[in-house]
Every structure is written in structure tokens, then in C-alpha cells.
């Protein structure tokens, strides 16, 4: 396979390179690009118009990794860039941009809870990051996710849930119309505080390993600050042994709370999309 080639992606010609390079022991750069090509219609609604940050692994999963807010050098000039704080970010608005940034080893895609149109003062979604402490696992997070889901429903919000690609879960609600940042953060914090008060042995709203001791789960509301970013639904996650995916779940999977069934490979996710469609309701 040639080291460098130009291929048609969407409406543009995109240069891709080093397709045979292994990023994981059994997963090459070509497989990463193929995954993002096939998942694009489901991923893009979650990242479009948002200033993206990336985890880059140019030497594969066992080499150095870099979390970067800046657009990788060398990207095509047609890439849409947006400012955020002190950085210039890529807005991954289309499949052409997605493949172009993936070619620069942007394995993970992280975005804030606001778009470039509204700016950081107005948020169109809230995310709860459920992060287990020592003695807890993703099954424990499922129990907490059901409690968050129930409380949000009582407040009139539909929610969807994804794995993080690790031991935790992310739970989202949409805000239409967008909320002022102070209102979004205050509401997220109030949910976390109410739940931790009602379930002291299971939930904390305070960050830090000490607060999560004893098998508690942190309901992390601080992911909703304007500077914070969250790994997007359907993004790859750069675990060392093999790639994982931040994967949307059905609520009956959460109710079952089986840790062994909640770890998904890229191939698993593409199969789930074929069978289940988009469980986030965004595509």
C-alpha cells in the first residue's frame, strides 16, 4: 500500500498516509479511518459546529500521547477553525474534516457543551460524567445512571446514556433553546447534590479520590463549565491494548448493569448501528 495517497471523501480530495501503520496491536490507521468513515453520520451531529480538542497518538497506543486544543499543523486550508479561549480549534463539521483530522492521528474527539454559533455563554446540552471510585465499576455507574435518568425525567428532560470507553458513563440532556452558562452549571450541580444527599453511600458530587472512596460514583457536574470538554458519543478511545468506543446504550442495557456486556470495539459499534440505529436520537 502506498505511503501517501489522495482519495475522494465527500466533496473533497483528502490526502491520507501511512495506512498500514499499527495504532494498536491488531488495529491499523487504515482501520481507524474506515471506522470514522462508517460512523460519520452518527458522530457528526454531536461534534458539528463545536470547537474540538483531540487526543493524538502519532506513535500508536503505547507511544506518547498528546491532548491538544490547537488544530494540528498541516491541515488543509479549507478546514473550518473557530476560536475558544486562547486557542484556535477545528470545527469538525463534515466527513471531509473528520477524515482529515483522523489522518493526523486525532484518535479521540472531545467537545464542549456549546457551539460556535452561540458561543460559550449559551449551552445547548448538559452532560453528567459518572466516574466510579475504587471498589465501583461500570455496573455501579449503571445504578447511578438510572437514578439520574429518573430525576431528569421528573424535571421533564429526556436523556440518553453512553459508555465512556472506560469504567464510567456519560448521560446527556438537550437544552432547546440554549441556557445561559450559569443556569446550566447550577442545574447540573443541583442534580448531583440532590442525588448525593439522597444516596450518600453510593453517590458523591465532590471531585477527588477521597470523596469516591468506598465504591462511590462521582456525578461530575463540572463538565458543564465552558472550558470543559467531553469525549463525544461514537469517538474512539485510546486504551493501550485495543481501541474502545464511547457507545450509546439502550436503557434496558443499563438496567441489566452487566459490566461484561458494556465494553464495545469499533466493529461492535458498527454492528450495533446496523441493528439498532442511533440510540442518541441525533442522527
Q: At what angle do helices 95-103 and 29-47 cross, to 10 degrees?
A: 140
CB of 82 closer than 8 Å to CB of 51: yes
* Stretch 6-34: mean pLDDT: 95
Superfamily per CATH, domain 4-112+229-246: DNA primase, PRIM domain (3.90.920.10)
The domain limits of the chain are 4-112+229-246, 122-224
Q: Is the pLDDT of residue 86 over 70?
A: yes
Residue 112: pLDDT band by 50, 70, 90 thresholds? very high
Q: Check residue 248 and report its DSSP letter.
A: B
Give the model confidence (pLDDT) of 212-222 as tens digits: 999 999 999 99
- Residue 115: predicted pLDDT: 96
* Stretch 91-114: mean pLDDT: 97
Residue 1: pLDDT band by 50, 70, 90 thresholds? low
Question: Rounded CA gap, 92 and 98, in Å?
Answer: 6
Q: Is the pLDDT of residue 261 over 90?
A: yes
Question: Rounded CA gap, 60 and 63, in Å?
Answer: 5
Give the model confidence (pLDDT) of 150-206 as tens digits: 999 999 999 999 999 999 999 999 999 999 999 999 999 999 999 999 999 999 999
- Residue 113: predicted pLDDT: 98
Question: In the chain, which ranges are E strands?
Answer: 4-9, 12-17, 22-24, 27-28, 51-56, 66-68, 81-84, 87-91, 106-111, 122-132, 160-163, 169-180, 203-204, 217-220, 230-231, 236-237, 244-245
- Least confident range of 2-11, 96-105, 242-251, 262-271: 2-11
- Residue 71: predicted pLDDT: 80
Q: What percent of the chain has pLDDT over 90?
A: 88
- Residue 122: predicted pLDDT: 98
Residue 233: pLDDT band by 50, 70, 90 thresholds? very high
Question: Rounded CA gap, 94 and 45, in Å?
Answer: 9
Q: Is the pLDDT of residue 24 over 80?
A: yes
- Residue 88: predicted pLDDT: 84
Mean pLDDT of the chain: 95
Pick the CATH number of 122-224 from 3.90.1310.10, 3.30.70.3300, 2.30.30.90, 3.40.50.2300: 3.30.70.3300
Up-side HSE of residue 66: CA atoms within 13 Å toward CB? 11
* Stretch 120-136: mean pLDDT: 97
Amino acid at each position: 500500500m502506498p505511503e501517501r495517497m489522495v482519495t475522494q471523501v465527500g466533496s473533497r480530495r483528502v490526502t491520507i498516509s501511512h495506512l498500514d501503520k499499527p495504532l494498536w496491536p491488531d488495529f491499523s490507521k487504515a482501520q481507524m479511518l474506515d471506522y470514522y468513515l462508517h460512523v460519520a453520520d452518527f458522530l457528526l451531529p454531536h461534534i458539528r459546529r463545536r470547537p474540538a480538542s483531540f487526543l493524538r497518538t502519532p506513535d500508536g497506543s503505547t507511544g506518547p500521547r498528546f491532548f491538544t486544543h490547537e488544530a494540528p499543523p498541516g491541515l488543509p486550508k479549507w478546514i473550518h477553525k473557530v476560536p475558544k479561549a486562547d486557542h484556535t480549534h477545528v470545527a469538525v463539521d463534515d466527513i471531509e474534516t473528520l477524515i482529515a483530522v483522523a489522518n493526523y492521528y486525532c484518535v479521540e474527539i472531545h467537545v464542549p457543551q456549546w457551539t460556535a454559533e452561540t458561543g460559550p455563554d449559551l449551552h445547548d446540552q448538559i452532560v453528567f460524567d459518572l466516574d466510579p471510585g475504587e471498589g465501583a465499576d461500570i455496573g455501579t455507574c449503571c445504578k447511578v445512571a438510572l437514578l439520574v435518568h429518573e430525576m431528569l425525567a421528573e424535571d421533564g428532560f429526556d436523556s440518553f446514556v453512553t459508555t465512556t470507553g472506560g469504567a464510567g458513563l456519560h448521560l446527556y440532556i438537550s437544552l432547546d433553546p440554549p441556557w445561559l452558562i450559569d443556569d446550566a452549571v447550577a442545574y447540573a450541580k443541583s442534580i448531583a447534590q440532590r442525588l448525593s444527599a439522597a444516596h450518600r453511600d453510593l453517590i458523591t458530587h465532590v471531585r477527588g479520590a477521597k470523596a469516591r472512596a468506598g465504591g462511590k460514583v462521582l456525578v461530575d457536574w463540572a463538565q458543564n463549565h465552558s472550558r470543559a470538554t467531553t469525549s463525544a458519543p461514537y469517538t474512539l478511545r485510546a486504551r493501550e491494548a485495543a481501541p474502545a468506543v464511547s457507545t450509546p446504550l439502550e436503557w434496558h442495557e443499563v438496567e441489566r448493569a452487566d459490566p461484561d456486556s458494556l465494553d464495545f470495539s469499533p466493529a461492535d459499534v458498527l454492528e450495533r448501528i446496523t441493528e439498532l440505529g442511533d440510540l442518541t436520537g441525533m442522527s
